[in-house]
Amino acid sequence: MIVKIPATSANLGPGFDCLGLALQLYNFIKVETGRPFQISLTGTYCEGISIDESNLVWRTMCYLWSRINYPTPSVALTLENHIPPARGLGSSSAAIVGGLVAANALAGSPLSTLELLQLANTLEGHPDNVTPALYGGITLAVPSEEGILPRILGQAGDLKAVVLIPDLRLKTEKARGILPPQVSRQEAVFNISHAGLLIDAFIRGEYSLLKEGMRDLLHQNQRAVLIPGMLETLKAALDAGAYGAALSGSGPTLIALAPEAATKSIAGDMLNTMERHGTKVQTSVLDIDAGGAVCSISQ
């Protein structure tokens, strides 16, 4: 069995802890049943990932089985990682969502996608990455009395995402730790209205609204101190023709949403601007993933 899980970009500017989208950049979890327990790593990013029982994918699988009283089967896992860790592209969400989808499938799929989302949110702590990782597309995660209410806002097949990935790891806890515990009413109103505008823009496909819609007052300026050149690089993306640009999740990756024709100059201008501030970066142009985590049976 193979589970394919997309990278994700959370917040999208004003949608702190609630908006996100899935990207066509994937981690894969291969599960072989009836084998002694073993975890092997392959792909682009293996460093620092544990291969014993403390591995996040494995712990997540065991968590699901214990929740449904399913006896832990003996399996060998191969984790093929292409989502860079600690960069704001949802690598830990991919591990959690992938682990839940794999464990659920091995148990005969007793849990619905909505139930998996609630477990993923419990494990991850905020739902803005796990929701697009599970469902694909551009998503809104609403904390309701019954748990997270997921809304798919669209697939945006005509949008390209230029991602600029600094050679710099930034843990979400650190990037959250510098945020003030309280926000002013003016900042709250700014973000509520801009998140509303952004959702409207995605639903209507009116991408000219993204420039205004992706503005934020709750976290981006505050986090700029951790990412040299961040604000100038976001501006460079807009100047080069991006519809809108934001910090991806808690960073340090930046994401610009753009028409295909502008992606090359946006990527070049963003790279030059950030490297002038002394940080090495790599850029990728990605499509939006429409399917979310997918499980397939291999021979």
- Interacting residue ranges for ligand HSE, rule: CB under 6 A: 10-11, 16-17, 126, 128-129, 172, 175-176, 219, 249-250
Residue nearer to ligand HSE on the CB measure, 131 or 263 = 131
Least Å distance between CB 299 and ligand HSE? 36
User: Roughly how many angstroms between the first and final C-alpha of the chain, as a whole number?
Assistant: 8
C-beta of residue 60 within 8 angstroms of C-beta of residue 96: yes
Residue 168 neighbours by CB under 8 Å, 6+ apart: 227, 252, 279
Least Å distance between CB 70 and ligand HSE? 28
Task: Look up residue 122 and give its amino acid.
Answer: T
Residue nearer to ligand HSE on the CB measure, 10 or 201 = 10
Least Å distance between CB 96 and ligand HSE? 11
Residue nearer to ligand HSE on the CB measure, 96 or 175 = 175
Residue 31 neighbours by CB under 8 Å, 6+ apart: 1, 2, 3, 75, 76, 77, 102, 106
| Strand stretches in 124-262, DSSP E | 138-144, 147-154, 160-166, 244-247, 254-258
Which DSSP state fits 37? S
Least Å distance between CB 5 and ligand HSE? 15
Residue nearer to ligand HSE on the CB measure, 126 or 160 = 126
Residue nearer to ligand HSE on the CB measure, 87 or 219 = 219
Nearest one of 232, 249, 259, 114 to 175, comparing CA atoms: 249
Cα gap 291→294, rounded to integer Å: 7
If you search the block for the tokens 């993923």, which residue do you land on? Answer: 120
Least Å distance between CB 37 and ligand HSE? 30
Residue nearer to ligand HSE on the CB measure, 10 or 266 = 10
Least Å distance between CB 74 and ligand HSE? 33
